[in-house]
């Protein structure tokens, strides 16, 4: 899964700096939810520390030479003269990050935020104004960039405290799982994953992988239904989701080996598997459909499966995956088509190329 290109929000974030409305400070800058973009490629921004928990975006930043810091293993008391933020679409997570940006900014420093208009820029600007006051804003490329010069006397301390905890992990699905705002289907069991889990056969055995594991629901169902599994590997590009999966599966492994990989599946898997299950994502960080991500998952699965290995996947009914499945597997079948989704089984045979449908 590659990082999105032509990132208008990330590009517009730098507009006040490029137009000299704001000055890049000495002493370090923190960029929350950092994403690679044209201004970051065009010049070197000194003493910039980036945080990004989505693996494809994190890899792009590292390849460009930017320092990536782990939000779980840093000095939480350090304050920066400037904090940049690209909030996510999910409102609770976005507000928690805005509160964190204000907390991480030193008095007299600047919090600089950018959002796409269609992803809540007007509401985000109002949120920053309510939380810490507003010092300026600009519009470009259907985005809005806005900023606040941090004055402790203007900060709403009660709101800051409340918003700081909005993305805290919590129990969902009648207490079966721990989840948090911002991860995929964070407050429910995704219906596509539930349909796949319902139709999974009980005879999956050996070493299994779950591609795009999220907070661990599908892996939990695989462990519950398939006693022949001896090892299960979870691959997930979002580190926040993978941390939840570790918590959710810790008590149900029943002696079976579990490994967790923060990895872009499109870059390939780490070992061979007897079976693979997946509900591939079909959006990147933008709103546009990305069927190429699902195709990359299918190709990675085909490469990693042993001869005779089986891929069980679910997808939205309209997504055109059949051709790539036919190319990389010797047999495939639609197990069920219901609720707008299709559950597919594909089998890898010996030799190259596909030979049709089972």
- Reply yes or no on whether the pLDDT at 126 is more than 90: yes
- What is the structure's pLDDT at 248? 97
pLDDT of residue 251: 84
**So what's the pLDDT on residue 283?**
62
Q: Could you tell me which residues come within 8 angstroms of residue 156 by beta carbon, excluding any fewer than 6 positions away?
A: 130, 131, 132
Task: Give the Å distances, CA to CA, from 123 to 87, 127, 155.
Answer: 11, 6, 18
Residues 239-264: what's their mean pLDDT? 94
| Cα 344 to Cα 317: distance, rounded to the nearest angstrom | 11
Residue 62: φ, ψ to 5°: -65, -40
pLDDT of residue 356: 41
- For 86, 145, 245, 346, the CA distances from 8, given in Å and listed in that order, are 11, 11, 32, 38
pLDDT digits (tens, 9 = 90+) for 144-182: 999 999 999 999 999 999 999 999 999 999 999 999 999
For residue 231, what pLDDT band results from cuts at 50, 70 and 90? very high
For the chain, the structural domain boundaries read 8-164, 170-347
Mean pLDDT throughout 181-207?
Answer: 97
Q: Under a CB-based contact definition with an 8 Å cutoff, are residues 85 and 101 in contact?
A: yes
pLDDT band at 234 (very low <50, low <70, confident <90, very high): very high
Q: How confident is the model at residue 254 (pLDDT cuts 50, 70, 90)?
A: confident
pLDDT band at 256 (very low <50, low <70, confident <90, very high): very high
- The C-alpha angle with vertex 184 and arms to 178 and 186, in degrees rounded to 5, equals 35
| 309 close to 273: Cβ distance less than 8 angstroms | yes
Burial track 256-269 (b if 16+ CB lie within 10 A, e otherwise): bebebbbbbbbeeb
- Model confidence at 253, in pLDDT bands (50, 70, 90)? confident
What's CA 79's distance to the chain center, in Å? 26
DSSP secondary-structure letter at 37?
A: -
Quote the distance between the C-alpha of residue 82 and its chain's center: 25
Residue 261 has pLDDT above 50, yes or no: yes
Q: Do domains 8-164 and 170-347 have the same CATH topology?
A: yes
Superfamily holding 170-347? Vaccinia Virus protein VP39 (3.40.50.150)
Torsion of CA 117, 119, 123, 127, to 10 degrees: -120
Mean pLDDT estimate for the chain = 93
- Which among 251, 302, 242, 295 is positioned nearest to 272, based on CA atoms? 302
Residue-wise pLDDT for 59-94, tens only, equals 999 999 998 988 776 677 889 999 999 999 999 999
Q: Residue 2 has what pLDDT?
A: 45
Provide mean pLDDT across the span 12-40.
Answer: 97
Q: What is the pLDDT at residue 6?
A: 72
Domain 8-164 homologous superfamily, CATH: Vaccinia Virus protein VP39 (3.40.50.150)
pLDDT average, residue stretch 288-303: 89
Q: Which of 162, 151, 152, 153 is nearest to 127 (CA)?
A: 162
φ/ψ bin of 63: left (φ > 0), alpha (ψ from -120 to 50), beta (otherwise): alpha
135/311 Cα distance (integer angstroms) = 53
Confidence of residue 244 (pLDDT cuts 50, 70, 90): very high
């Amino acid at each position: 899964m590659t990082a999105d290109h032509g990132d208008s929000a990330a590009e517009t974030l730098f507009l006040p700096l490029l137009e000299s409305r704001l000055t890049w400070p000495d002493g370090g800058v923190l960029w929350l939810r950092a994403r690679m973009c044209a201004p970051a490629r065009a010049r070197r921004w000194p003493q910039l520390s980036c945080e990004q928990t989505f693996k494809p975006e994190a890899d792009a930043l590292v390849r460009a030479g930017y320092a990536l810091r782990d939000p779980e293993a840093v000095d939480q008391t350090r304050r920066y003269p400037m904090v940049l933020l690209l909030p996510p679409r999910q409102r609770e997570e976005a507000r928690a990050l805005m509160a964190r940006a204000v907390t991480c900014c030193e008095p007299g420093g600047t919090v600089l935020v950018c959002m796409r208009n269609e992803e809540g820029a007007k509401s985000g600007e109002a949120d920053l104004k309510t939380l810490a006051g507003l010092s300026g804003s600009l519009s470009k490329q259907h985005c809005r960039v806005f900023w606040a010069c941090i004055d402790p006397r203007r900060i709403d301390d009660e709101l800051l405290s409340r918003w700081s905890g909005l993305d805290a992990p919590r129990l969902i699905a009648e207490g079966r799982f721990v989840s948090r705002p911002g991860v995929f289907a964070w407050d429910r069991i995704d219906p596509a994953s539930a349909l796949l889990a319902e139709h999974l056969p009980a005879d999956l055995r050996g070493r299994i992988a779950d591609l795009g594991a999220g907070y661990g629901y599908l892996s939990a169902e695989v462990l519950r239904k398939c006693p022949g599994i001896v090892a299960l590997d979870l691959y997930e590009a979002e580190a926040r989701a993978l941390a939840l999966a570790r918590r959710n599966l810790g008590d149900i492994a029943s002696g079976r080996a579990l490994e967790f990989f923060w990895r872009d599946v499109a870059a390939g898997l780490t070992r061979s598997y007897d079976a693979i299950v997946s509900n591939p994502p079909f959006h990147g960080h933008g709103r546009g459909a990305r069927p190429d991500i699902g195709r990359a998952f299918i190709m990675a699965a085909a490469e990693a499966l042993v001869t005779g290995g089986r891929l069980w996947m679910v997808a939205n009914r309209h997504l055109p995956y059949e051709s790539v499945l036919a190319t990389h597997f010797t047999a495939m079948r639609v197990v069920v088509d219901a609720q707008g989704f299709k559950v597919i089984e594909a089998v890898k045979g010996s030799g190259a190329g596909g030979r049709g449908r089972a």
